[in-house]
Amino acid sequence: MNSEELEINLPAGTSSEIVDEYKADTKWMYPYISNDELCKTHDISQICNEERRRRMHLAINHQMHPSNYRDFLLKKYFDSHMPIKWLALVADVSMPTAANHYTGSILLNHLVEHKKSLFQTLFIETNQIDYHMWLQISRIKYFGEADSLQIAVGDVIVGHSWIKKYFKEEDHSCHYGLGKTIITDCGIPAVGFPPTNSIAIDLPQVKIISNYNRHDDYIAEISYPDY
């Protein structure tokens, strides 16, 4: 789609330069709600769904982008045998095929390194790994103590992955992707912003609400094997 045809719903008065940055995917905003909003509602699932639907277009890619930086960064983690901690937005899911072990894959948009606090990763230091990356569901080995995990487009997903090397069939070129993965959070961030005009010493705390009811919006539900 031509960037001029995109409709980006930003507050009235937002400069055309900022709107263009969203259209080009150089600026994005993950969905979140404040703790104040949570205190005012009797239906946490409703406010999470409303926020996810309202803001997800601000973090889903609108353009196609080459993946130039990803391999350089992921190779360092592959060579050091260390997992990379990351945060991303769930953008889509693929159908099961032989290539993804008949479990499907999750499309991650604006995948960033998660090195410090959730607040810093969400709002301040966004070192982007890639505009988009696929995560095979079969590579998710742990997602918490719950029996299953529902995932919806617009959810913020956090995890850490060991890096896997692979070669493209077309030209046999070497690339790197997400291998065995642990999901630590998947849902809508709730942010404890300080009161207006207060002097904040510490960064706001962030907790991701993962157990809200996504109703019919979830695109994947993963569970542990029933041995």
Q: What is the pLDDT along the chain (227 residues), one digit of tens a residue?
A: 444 455 677 766 678 888 888 888 888 999 999 999 999 989 999 999 999 999 999 999 988 887 767 899 999 999 999 999 999 999 999 988 887 777 899 999 999 999 889 999 999 877 899 999 999 999 999 999 999 999 999 999 999 999 999 998 888 889 999 999 999 999 999 999 887 766 667 788 999 999 999 999 999 999 998 76
Asked if residue 67 belongs to a domain, the reply is yes
Asked if residue 227 belongs to a domain, the reply is no
Torsion sign over Cα 202, 121, 181, 93 = positive
Asked if residue 102 belongs to a domain, the reply is yes
CA distance 160 to 171: 29
Query: Please, is 83 exposed, middle or buried when counting C-beta atoms within 10 Å of its C-beta (0-12, 13-18, 19+)?
Result: middle
Kindly report the pTM of this predicted structure: 0.90
Torsion sign over Cα 82, 86, 91, 92 = positive
Asked if residue 11 belongs to a domain, the reply is no
Query: How many domains does the chain divide into?
Result: 1
Asked if residue 1 belongs to a domain, the reply is no
CA distance 119 to 73: 22
Beta bridge partners of 193: none
> Which residue range forms the structural domain that includes residue 34?
16-209
Asked if residue 42 belongs to a domain, the reply is yes
Asked if residue 220 belongs to a domain, the reply is no
Asked if residue 217 belongs to a domain, the reply is no
Residue written as tokens 């959730």? 118
Structure-token pair, residue 206:
């962030």
pLDDT recorded at residue 2:
41
CA distance 94 to 226: 23
pLDDT recorded at residue 108:
98
